Amino acid sequence: MATSLRTEYEQRLVNEIKELPESEIPKILKLIHFLKEEILGTENQKEEDLQLFWQSFGSWKDERPTEEIIREIYEGRRSTTREVKL
C-alpha cells in the first residue's frame, strides 16, 4: 500500500472518530483491538494451527491385546432404528 494511500485512510479514520461522542471512543478502540488481534491476527496463526493439526496424526499406541480392542469397539456400537422418510 502506498504511503499516501495509507495516510489518507488514517486521516479518514481520525475524521470518523472525531465525529463520535467522547463516551463512545473507548468502545471503538476495543473494537479495533478485537479486529486487529482476533480477526487479522488469525492469518499469522493459520500456519501454526495447521502444523499442530498435522502433528496430531500418528500411529496408534495401545498395550492391550487386539481382541480386547476389537471387543471394546463392538461394545461401543449402538444400534438405532431410524425412520427414513422419502
Quick one: which of 37, 16, 38, 34 has its CA closest to 25?
A: 16
Predicted model pTM: 0.42
Q: What is the pLDDT of residues 68-82, one digit of tens each?
A: 999 998 888 877 777
pLDDT interval class at 8 (50, 70, 90): very high
Domain limits, the chain:
22-53
Q: Is 63 helix (H, G, I), strand (E, B) or coil?
A: coil
Distance CA 50, CA 74 (A): 33
Q: What is the pLDDT of residues 38-66, one digit of tens each?
A: 777 665 667 777 778 777 777 777 889 99
